[in-house]
Structure 1
Amino acid sequence: MKVLYAQSGGVTSVINASAYGVLDEAQKAGLEVYVGIHGISGVLRENLLKINGKDIEGLKYTPSAAFGSCRRKLKTQKDINKLFEIFEKYEIEYFFYNGGNDSMDTAWKLYTEAKKRNIPLKVIGVPKTVDNDLPHTDHCPGYGSAAKYIATAIMEATLDLRSMYVDSTRVFVMEIMGRHAGWLSAAAGLGWLNGIGADLILFPEVPFNKEKFLERVDESIRRKGYCSIAVSEGIKYPDGFFVADMGYTDSFGNRQLGGVGFTIAGMIRSELSLKTHVAIPDYLQRSGRHIASKTDVDEAEAVGRQAVKLALDGVSGVMVTINRVSNSPYKVEYGTVELNKVAEVTKYLPDDFHTDFEVTEEYIEYAKPLIEGELFPKFKDGLPVYTIFKEVEE
């Protein structure tokens, strides 16, 4: 029996821990294992790598997509037919797709096509996204580590600001990923657990009110002399237009966003005459494995292993979910949800997790267990050692 695994969408610092979970569990079951290089795009090109016998232990400590990712939707029957020709050629009986909303749509299409053809292909979705916006799961592997990175970065940057504001920068702005949901920007408020965090957070769920925002910045300046701000890339005006729309779309049809931090800083400079500084963590926040959460790493591996167990039990057409049982002590169980209930659906930051500019105690209680613990990679010559497969280079 043969397995095919592939990675898709924006990467995380723990997606390879899920890969390790899938690949190791499948090999333990005596299966022949392949991975698609660069997701479904690589599978369509028949760019597959056989894993059996390779050293994969380091995947648990390696960020980004070790086997390459892609941003591709299945839009044509021609592509679907091509995939099934490849599945048949390699005698693939189990397909695991590791990704987010759009990736689950791809997995759903393959599952329904297999049913239509009466082919016993088992398709399981393995959740992944730093955005934490997949529905029907308490949280997503990748989020805890990205949240930990953001919380730490805003703490350190705010301490820098606090040290220098007297005759230098008065306002620090950090632009954070998050097109529609404010889960990542909310993490900028977690630093208050240890005494310092973002003074203001701009969430995509809250329509941007320039006047109200500037009033809050001015109040912070008058009260303590400086202001630290976290802004989601996806904030919108009340009319629904993105504050930082770049004017074109990506291959998934999403409007491309960029520069909202500079836009916000420009408003502050022009209206309040304050010196500002802008930082854009960008890829750093999603691939910061050196500061990953142990909870996140462990759960990422666990959902991969659970996916294989489900498939071997004959389950198909579902994504693995993480269901929180308790906060104290923190405990989760693993379940499933039908792929079509996740595909292209967004879970927003709940109203009780935030106000207009701050996170609430409810959010902090939710997020705190997800950022706990450390599982550092090995270091050599002062730098982390990461696993790189030369076969991924094209």
Structure 2
Amino acid sequence: MHPKNAFYAQSGGVTAVINASAAGVIETARAHPEAIGTVYAGANGILGALHEDLIDTAAESAETIRALRHTPAGAFGSARYKLKGLEENRAEYERLIEVFRAHDIGYFFYNGGGDSQDTAHKVSQLGEAMGYPVTCIGIPKTVDNDLPVTDTCPGFGSVAKYIAVATREAGLDVASMAQTSTRVFILETMGRHAGWIAAASALAREAQGDPPHVILLPEVPLDEQRFLERVKASVEGFGYCVVVVSEGVKNADGTFLSDQGTRDAFGHVQLGGVAPAIAALIKNTLGYKYHYAIADYLQRAARHIASATDVEQAYAVGQAAVEQALAGRNAIMPTIVRESDAPYRWHVGEVALAEVANVEARMPAEFIDASGFFVTDACLRYLRPLIAGEDYPPYRDGLPDYARLRGERVTPRLPDFRA
């Protein structure tokens, strides 16, 4: 029986280490030519399958694929594109199976968050129903760290490291000028419903009085009066205040502070600009001079300061996805299973896609302190190993030297797709 080809796609917001997962998939598949033929990558994620725009990874050298491990963003292109339910949008799912059949693809590796795991699960079901079974393995990825079951999500450790470093460095800057200049600095992080990224800023604190002084989490509705009292106490006690705020912070009535009134392709409320809203509240009430920064894409693209733990785990889940597929597993996602905090030990496990599809994991209550403005020691014990170690990319002429793909396309065999 001849080896089936594989399809790999990246989905949703990219990370500093998603390409490490891609390297894990491709290098492991290349080590098993008797079972897997060519790995095709979707140009711009799942859109590459819908429009039969496939990248032939066999045209990339071993050196280039190896370099993906230290290259940020989505090397093959990603997309915020959610396939709807099978009943309401069966045509798109059938198109995926048609493309897979046309290119002799028997393996589907989908690298993304909860929505992506849902798609992989549905494809596994439909392939069986259409008489063309496809082995579907989800690969976890999200900076938000909000996938259930897995101890952590590849991509989170590096953004957590970036935010912790940024908080410490900006804190030193503000402290040095607070007497005559800025008294309050606000750093806005990603995190729609889960405050993991903002919480990671707590790792910057080494001693009482160090920043961050206030962390605003989506899990805790904002009490403006208590918040302003906390800011004032920090300025009066330490001379300045550093606030880290998650983009998903909500008012007491449950509405987002930074709701822009629009939705993205996944149906999520578009957020952005909570830092200036918090800054205006402080200025108008307390009168302090402030500065704010919105980390935005910088936090998830910062491969130059990636966590070594994160890089290793991202590669491991890509590798495990192929190994699990070859072992006959289907409709599952590899997970990170924590064995101990210190020393930090972990191994790769698995979970059924049905258990993680469209499910968000928020910070547990025991990770948020009684004030609601900081995290507990239990949270810090959880976070510390995830940012551990450095895995610097190679540098050339003073800048990181990242992989560049040839991106050779596969000749289409089907008519153009019209949804």
* TM-score, length-scaled by structure 1: 0.98
d(CA) in 1 for partners of 2:128, 2:103: 19
Question: Could you tell me how far apart the structure 2 residues matched to 1:163 and 1:352 are?
Answer: 34
Deviation at 1:328, TM superposition (A): 2.1
Q: CA deviation at 1:312?
A: 0.5
Within the candidate set 354, 359, 368, 1:340 is matched to: 354
Q: Residue 223 of structure 1: CA displacement?
A: 0.5
Runs of 4+ in 1 over 4 A off after TM superposition: none
1:7 paired residue number: 10
Task: Letter of the 2:15 partner, please give it.
Answer: T
**What root-mean-square deviation, in Å, do the aligned CA atoms of Structure 1 and Structure 2 show?**
1.3
Give how far 1:360 is off.
Answer: 1.1
What's the CA shift string for 1:191-214, capped at 9, x where partnerless?
114784311000000011100100
* Kept after mapping to 1: 8 A contact 2:195/2:363: yes
Mapped partners of 2:234, 2:339: distance in 1: 39
Q: Aligned ranges for residues 320-331 of structure 1 at < 5 Å?
A: 320-331=334-345
Task: Quickly say closer, same or farther: Cα 1:298–1:193, change in 2 above 3 A.
Answer: farther
Deviation at 1:365, TM superposition (A): 0.5
Q: CA deviation at 1:392?
A: 8.5
| CA-to-aligned-CA distance 1:328-358 (integer Å, 9 cap, x gap) | 2211111111112111111001111112011
1:25 corresponds in structure 2 to 28
Q: Is the 8 A contact 1:68 1:392 kept in 2?
A: no
TM-score (norm 2): 0.92
Q: Give the corresponding residue for 1:366.
A: 382
Query: 1:16-74 CA deviation, whole Å, 9 max, x = no partner?
Result: 00000000000110122111111101211111111125121110000010110001111
1:65 matched to 2:65? The reply is no
> Structure 1 residue 359: deviation in Å?
1.2
List alignment gaps of at least 5 residues for structure 2: 410-419
Are positions 1:164 and 2:177 aligned together? yes
| Change beyond 3 A, Cα 1:221–1:101 | same
Give 1:217-236 correspondences, 5 Å limit.
217-236=231-250
Task: Report whether the alignment pairs 1:188 with 2:201.
Answer: yes
Q: Which residue of 2 aligns with 1:385?
A: 401
* Distance (whole Å) between structure 2 residues aligned to residue 250 and residue 9 of structure 1: 11
Are residues 151 and 41 of structure 1, via their aligned partners in 2, closer, same or farther at CA, if it must alter by over 3 Å?
same
Residue 265 of structure 2 aligns to a residue whose secondary structure is: coil
What displacement does 1:115 show?
2.4
Deviations 1:162-200 (A, max 9, x none): 000111010000011000000000011001147843110
Partners of 1:193 and 1:123 lie apart in 2 by 45
- SS of corresponding position for 2:260: strand
Equivalent position of 1:154 in the other structure: 167
Partner letter of residue 39 of structure 2? V
SS in 2 for 1:208: coil
Distance 2:305 2:127 in 1: 41
Per-residue CA distance 1:203-243 (angstroms, 9 max, x = gap)? 00001110010000011011011000000000111211001
Residue 121 of structure 2 corresponds to residue 119 of structure 1: no
Rounded Cα–Cα distance in structure 1 between residues aligned with 2:161 and 2:6: 33
The answer as to whether partners of 1:161 and 1:172 remain within 8 angstroms in 2 is yes
The offset of 1:78, in angstroms, is 0.9
User: Which residue of structure 1 aligns with residue 52 of structure 2?
Assistant: 46
- The answer to whether the 8 A contact 2:24-2:318 is kept is yes
Hey, what's the Cα distance between the residues in 1 that align with 2:263 and 2:273? 15
Q: What amino acid sits opposite 1:287 in the alignment?
A: A
* 1:273 matched residue in structure 2: 287
1:257 partner amino acid: L
The 1:392/1:342 distance shift into structure 2, 3 A limit, reads farther
The CA distance in 2 between the partners of 1:174 and 1:329, in whole Å, is 31
Judge conservation of contact 1:67–1:392 (CA < 8 Å) in 2. Answer: no
Q: How many residues are treated as equivalent by the alignment?
A: 393
Map Cα deviations across residues 257-276 of structure 1 (whole Å, 9 max, x no partner): 11100000000000000001
In 1, Cα distance between the equivalents of 2:240 and 2:303? 31
Residue type of the partner of 1:11? V
For 1:241 and 1:392, how far apart are their aligned partners in 2? 46
Structure 2: which amino acid aligns with 1:62?
A: T
Q: Which residue of 1 aligns with 2:230?
A: 216
Alpha-carbon contact 2:97-2:132 (below 8 Å) kept: no
Question: Structure 1 residue 93 and structure 2 residue 106: aligned?
Answer: yes
**Structure 1: 5+ residue runs without aligned partners?**
none
1:81 CA displacement: 1.1
Q: Distance in 2 between matches of 1:193 and 1:122?
A: 48
In the aligned structure 2, how far is the partner of 1:11 from the partner of 1:323? 23
Amino acid in structure 1 at the alignment position of 2:10: Q
CA distance in 1, matches of 2:238, 2:164: 21
> Which range moves more in the overlay, 382-391 or 277-286?
382-391
Q: Percent identity?
A: 50
